[in-house]
Amino acid sequence: MIKDDRFIIAGLGGAKTLKGEIAIGGAKNEALKVLAGSVLFKDGFSVENIPEIEDVRKIIELLERLGVKVEHSGKNFYSLDTTELKEFSLPADISKKLRASIVITGPLLARFGKVIFPYPGGCVIGKRPIDMFLSGFRKMGANITEDGETFTVEAADGKLVGAEIFFKQQSVTSTETFMMAGVLARGVTVLKNCPVEPEIVSLGEWLNECGAKITGLGTSTIKIEGGDLLIGEGKTHHTLPDRIEAGSFIILGALAASELTVKNCHPDHLDALTAYLSEAGVNIETGPDWVKVTNSGDEKFTALDVKTHEYPGFPTDLQAPFSIFLTQAEGQSYIFETIFEGRLNYFDALNRMGAKVKVLDSHRAIIDGPTPLSGREIESPDLRAGLAYVLAAIIASGQSVVHNVEYIDRGYEEIEKRLVSLGLEVKRVSGDDKNELCQCLPQN
């Protein structure tokens, strides 16, 4: 990825002409945690179906700086060796750019009895405090000192102790962090009010396969019996399909395709989205590992009220892409974003494209539709809003330029090439070169 890359997209002007198949890659939100979990291993393991995205590259660089040997032995396939892992201080230059780096603190603290880390970074989508992490570490017997924006956490006697931790708010990252910390802690750790996302379940099952003792996966109470370092013994973990990526392309199909099949996915992980789309009038078929969207071209979609919620509710990460769909639905739709505040800031740019959105506060907005969109030059504020802007550019009339593609690269592998394969005209322009075209397009 080159910073300041941008997409130049020739909009379809509302025509539903895209056609083909899209294969879904591995789940970003599981891949990052499985890689972070390598800290718990005495030896190492391999992992397949890892998305080739910027966040994965960052966390691998972070692990390598800690002493983990990582071999990229094939596309979407990595092998990790932790036998020379010695470092417990997270490098600030990476951690400050990667929110998911916080999840490594739990395993590192459990393994070494000490961890040093800066305040983590990532997308700016509202307040994401680390109070839950610091509070949980204290309950597990750790002392915390802060020097500016750097935290030093040390376990008494060099070993975390099991504790009962109640999450005031359901948090995927906090649950995974303390689930992994509990694997090497002394005694039993009980986590309450846990979310039930498939990625948490898959991570826990993988750790159990390698020697962890975790029960209650898929429920709101998870129990971890502490033990020794895990042993990979040459095992390979297969990453779940990315349900957010799958959902994004299903929404694309509803907006702009005559027929689009999203394959290599888990349709049962997408029930909330497909239920909403079906209610709005989208023609959806599902199979064992695929979802197909078809349009005749004269569909009229119905406005909806959408409230984001932890899994299995409507995903917050699909709220922005789904809002693009709602700009094309007849009537007034209501969006209630319950997970993150400030995640509605992207609507200003959509209004400049012709949408009619009224933001009521940091959590709620009203969308009137349908409204035709016109191409504009817009800047991605974060990963999911960036993808939403790509969807808006696709259905708009005229040409759009989407800046800050580095945000989109954090979660979607080679998205421009995949869109071109469906019939879209999109170019990636790098740096200051306004004439450089994506290699997947012939130069005119």
Sheet of strand 221-225: strand arrangement? 164-166, 188-192, 221-225, 213-215
Please count the residues of the chain.
Answer: 444
Buried b or exposed e, range 159-194, using 16+ CB within 10 angstroms: bbbbbebebeebbbbbbbbbbbbbbbbbeebbbeeb
Strand partners, 314: 308
Quickly count: other Cβ atoms within 10 Å of residue 243's Cβ: 27
421 SS3 class: coil
Distance CA 153, CA 160 (A): 11
356 DSSP β-pair partners:
368
Q: Which of 267, 226, 233 is nearest to 247 (CA)?
A: 267
Q: Indicate which residue of 123, 194, 265, 438 is catalytic.
A: 123
CA-to-CA distance for 228 and 236, rounded, in angstroms? 20
438 tagged catalytic = no
Q: Is the peptide bond before 288 cis (omega within 30 degrees of 0)?
A: no
Q: What counts of helices (H) and strands (E) characterise the chain?
A: 14, 24
Q: From residue 327, how far is each of 365, 372, 393 by CA, in Å? A: 12, 8, 13
| Torsion of Cα atoms, 300 then 254 then 13 then 382, to 10° | 130
First to last CA, the chain: 24
Region of residue 249 (phi > 0: left; psi between -120 and 50: alpha; otherwise: beta): alpha
Would you name the residues annotated as active-site residues? Answer: 123
